[in-house]
């Protein structure tokens, strides 16, 4: 496995552990809709949460969350809409980002609630 894939997998595992620690129920990991993947789908007491995990070994080239483009957001929104319909879920949804940076043998996690809203074109 390439080094960037290894750090990404470790980051997703750390993200799941973090979400479970704060009381989220993990519904799906690496869920695909067409060719687009949602890293984590979880539930807390108020929301179905669609989570994008971005992991980096440093912030030398920018913060992890800066790598999320408008196109990626749009695809995530489309996939989330399909998931909600497919699973007949009427609970409110939101989109979070977990930005992880490897620092001193552990991940620093920045949890960005409601990182973006579905946009209307």
Query: What pLDDT does 104 receive?
Result: 81
Query: What pLDDT does 8 receive?
Result: 85
**CB neighbours (10 Å) of residue 13?**
13
Query: What pLDDT does 38 receive?
Result: 96
Q: 49, 96 in Cβ contact below 8 A? A: yes
Alpha helices by DSSP H, the chain: 3-21, 70-86
Query: What pLDDT does 66 receive?
Result: 84
The span from the CA of 120 to the CA of 118, in Å, is 7
Query: What pLDDT does 23 receive?
Result: 97
Q: Assign 1 a pLDDT band (cuts: 50, 70, 90).
A: low
pTM of the predicted structure, to 2 decimals: 0.90
Instruction: Map out the domains of the chain as residue ranges.
Output: 3-116
Looking at the domain covering 3-116, what would its CATH class be?
alpha beta
Q: 16, 30 in Cβ contact below 8 A? A: no
For 2-38, the pLDDT digits (tens) are 555 688 899 999 999 999 999 999 999 999 999 899 9
Length reported for the chain: 121
């Amino acid at each position: 496995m390439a080094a960037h894939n290894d750090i990404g997998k470790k980051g997703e595992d750390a993200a799941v552990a973090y979400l479970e620690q704060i009381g989220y129920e993990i519904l799906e990991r690496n869920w695909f809709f067409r060719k687009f993947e949602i890293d984590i789908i979880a539930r807390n007491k108020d929301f179905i949460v669609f989570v994008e995990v971005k992991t980096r070994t440093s912030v030398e080239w920018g913060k992890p969350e800066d790598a999320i483009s408008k196109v990626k957001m749009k695809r995530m929104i489309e996939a989330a809409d399909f998931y909600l319909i497919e699973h007949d879920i009427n609970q409110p949804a939101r989109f979070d980002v977990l930005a992880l940076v490897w620092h001193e043998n552990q991940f620093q996690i920045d949890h960005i609630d409601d990182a973006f809203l579905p946009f209307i074109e």
